[in-house]
Copies of this chain bind each other. A is one copy, B any other.
Amino acid sequence: MKLSKKNLEGRLDHVYDAIVVGGGAGGLSAAVYLQRYRLSSLVVEKGRGRSFWMQELRNYLGLPPETPGRTLLQQGQSHLQSVGGDYLSGFVEAVEDEGETFAVTVKIGKTDPIYPVFRSKYLVSASGIIDHLPQLEDQQNVFDYAGYNLHVCMICDGYDMADQKCGLFVNSEAAIHTAFVLNWFTPYITVFTQGLCEVGQDMRDKLKAHGYPLIETPLKRFVGQNHHMSGVELTDGTTVDLETGLISMGSHYYNQYLKGLDLDWKGGNLVTDGMCRTSHPRIFALGDLKEGLNQVSIAVADGTLAATAIWRDIRRSAPPRLWEEHVSLAQHQT
């Protein structure tokens, strides 16, 4: 059921089989599977993750391509409720490994927050990432276009940028290399560093050889209307016409609550086995938090794998269930 500040009775004494940090595609899939394995799960969702922002989920089989990410999440939440899972809007502040259980401290509410502690045998980390966006004086101007024709994921949206005049917005020289993959989709690339990084001569030469202009003047604002970006205005007053854009400024991992635990990392990603189990036998990591492609389909499958591994662990350590009536009879007969 949907939990809030007001209906936590019983939940704070209960030891869940698994607490799932993050109610995106991966976390919801894990929780639906856990419940269908007859295990008890709690999803804690802080709100406004990456899939929430997606205006069109163009590559997830089974849904029309124009389905917004929000619709997937809403359907997943109702799916979870239909199989008896708990769902809580809150922010996971800390996780303590108590040996047999995890103690998970959740901040609930913005005004007069409370900090209840929930417990579980397993922890599923599905808290994902959020993309860094250009920081402008009027930040709403960025939100007006991000997720529409100003994209953050080339794998997801390269197709929709095909052969269009595309701005590539970076904050490091390393990120400029994206241009030499993006050109599979379109060669009409202008690179905008926004003045956030130095660019060496080798990179300048390479961009010139490809014919991709480099603009280092900071952005003033994106130009366009009805969520359709049609160019940028620079701080020097000049404008550049564009038909689409890709932001490649890195991302922020929501993984602070894991930092006190002894886990194997590779950069910002958790290292996992084929079932999404981290180096800690009772912690799993899904989707964007772990190594691999950041795609909805991958996160959903990760949820399937993690839930299945948890079920196998718990089932194998449980006593077999007998059909008592017939056992007594069988014992009587022998």
Q: Which residues of A contact B (CB under 8 A)?
A: 25, 28-29, 32-33, 35-38, 58-65, 67, 71-72, 75-76, 79, 82-83, 155, 158-159, 162, 180-181, 183-189, 208-213, 274, 292-293, 295, 297-298, 300-305, 308, 311, 315, 318, 320-330, 334
Interface core residue of A38, A211, A303 (most chain B CB under 10 Å): A211
A187 pairs with B62, CB closer than 8 A: no
Q: Which residues of B contact A315 (CB under 8 A)?
A: 181, 184
Q: Which residues of B contact A187 (CB under 8 A)?
A: 321-324
Q: Which 10 A-B pairs have the closest CB atoms?
A: A211-B326, A211-B323, A301-B301, A211-B327, A187-B321, A36-B159, A29-B61, A208-B330, A183-B321, A297-B304
Pick from B75, B83, B155, B302: contact of A63, CB under 8 Å: B75
What is the count of identical protomers in the complex?
Answer: 2
Complex CA distance for A25 and B297, rounded to whole angstroms: 11
A61 pairs with B38, CB closer than 8 A: no
Pick from B35, B83, B213, B297: contact of A303, CB under 8 Å: B297
Give, as a whole number of angstroms, the nearest-CB distance from A64 to chain B: 7
Q: Which residues of B contact A302 (CB under 8 A)?
A: 301
Pick from B33, B64, B303: contact of A79, CB under 8 Å: B64
Q: Which residues of B contact A329 (CB under 8 A)?
A: 211
Q: Which residues of B contact A180 (CB under 8 A)?
A: 320
Complex CA distance for A327 and B61, rounded to whole angstroms: 40
Beyond A62-B62, A63-B63, A82-B65, is A185–B29 a contact (Cβ under 8 Å)?
A: no
B184 pairs with A321, CB closer than 8 A: yes
A210 pairs with B322, CB closer than 8 A: yes
Q: Which residues of B contact A63 (CB under 8 A)?
A: 62-63, 75
A330 pairs with B209, CB closer than 8 A: yes
Interface core residue of A28, A62, A323 (most chain B CB under 10 Å): A62
Give, as a whole number of angstroms, the nearest-CB distance from A188 to chain B: 6
Determine the residue in chain B with the shortest Cβ distance to A323. B211
